[in-house]
Amino acid sequence: MSDVDVPESHPRYESLLLRHRIEEGVEAGITSKQGLIAQGRGEAYDYLLGERTIPSADAAERAAAAHLLRADHPVLSVNGNVAALAPEETVELAAATGAALEVNLFNRTEARMERIADHLREHGAEEVLGLAADGRIPGLDHERAKVDADGIGSADVVLVPLEDGDRAEALAEMDTTEIVIDLNPLSRSARTATVPVVDNLIRALPNMTEHARSLAGADEAELDAVVEAFDREAALEAAEAAIRSPEE
Ligand code: ATP
């Protein structure tokens, strides 16, 4: 038994554990109530995908790692669900790729921003951006547009896990390569991303870190080849096909 009070042999153990982390995130003031709804949607898609990393998602994770490694100024965007579900995994990916961490919330409050930044620091983060809010994403209303000028505001590659469609679209309009993690291959976020990663955040982040470590010695040409070999349309189609025909 763990602190969730569900036996590890329970067939839905993993899923219940993640649900519990989100509940705890809400209680700690890290995750918003809307985060509970996002979690529910994610669970449904993960169930349909067989709760596994399908081969096209693994290819996307490798391409994402290559993008982050060859970037001049990569940034990982962190929201309340990401902080509750995978703080350590996020910090590890940042360390493996040299990316900055920036808290970026749909429903921004200073208190929640600070709690998430503290939570990331407790899990090993050194610098956490997002609180300066001295930059703007064009095309969004005031609160949702706020970013740090030296973070997402000037990033060449941004990883946005579980981003809402509006913001994903606005970011894509900027001169930024966007990597999105979203279990719904039909979501606007996945559809606007340069690299859509249709996988659970909890599996995607450690797998990206593993790919980043294995690509650490690669030269520019090798990284370019990994990036170019990835076909976003094919990956989205493969994810949809996996949902429709889980046995494949
Ligand atoms: P759209 O991009 O179509 O506008 P939306 O803004 O309505 O979508 P939200 O309601 O913000 O999307 O939902 C968040 C998205 O995050 C959902 O598509 C859900 O599948 C996805 N999601 C939730 N939890 C996870 C997770 N752990 N890993 C990956 N994706 C997740």
Q: Is 15 in the pocket of ligand 1 (CB under 6 A)?
A: no
Exposure letters 30-47 (e unless 16+ CB within 10 A, then b):
bbbeebeebbeebbebbe
Cβ 77 vs Cβ 161: under 8 Å: yes
Q: What are phi and psi of 177, to 5 degrees?
A: -80, 125
Q: Is 55-244 a domain of CATH 3.40.50.300?
A: no
Atom of ligand 1 nearest to the CA of 202: 27
Residue 83 to residue 71: CA distance in whole angstroms: 23
CB 246 within 8 A of CB 50: yes
Q: What is the pLDDT of residue 141?
A: 87
Instruction: Check if 164 has its Cβ closer than 6 Å to any atom of ligand 1.
Output: yes
pLDDT of res. 248: 58
Ligand 1 atom at minimal distance to the Cα of residue 45: 20
Give residue 148's pLDDT. Answer: 96
Q: Give the pLDDT confidence score for residue 11 in this predicted structure.
A: 75
- The pLDDT of residue 3 is 57
Per-residue pLDDT of the chain (248 residues; tens, 9 = 90+): 445 677 788 778 888 999 999 999 999 999 999 999 999 999 999 999 999 999 999 999 999 999 999 999 999 999 999 999 999 999 999 999 999 999 999 889 999 999 999 999 999 999 999 999 999 999 898 888 999 999 999 999 999 998 888 888 898 888 899 999 999 999 999 999 999 999 999 999 999 999 999 999 999 999 999 999 999 999 999 999 999 986 65
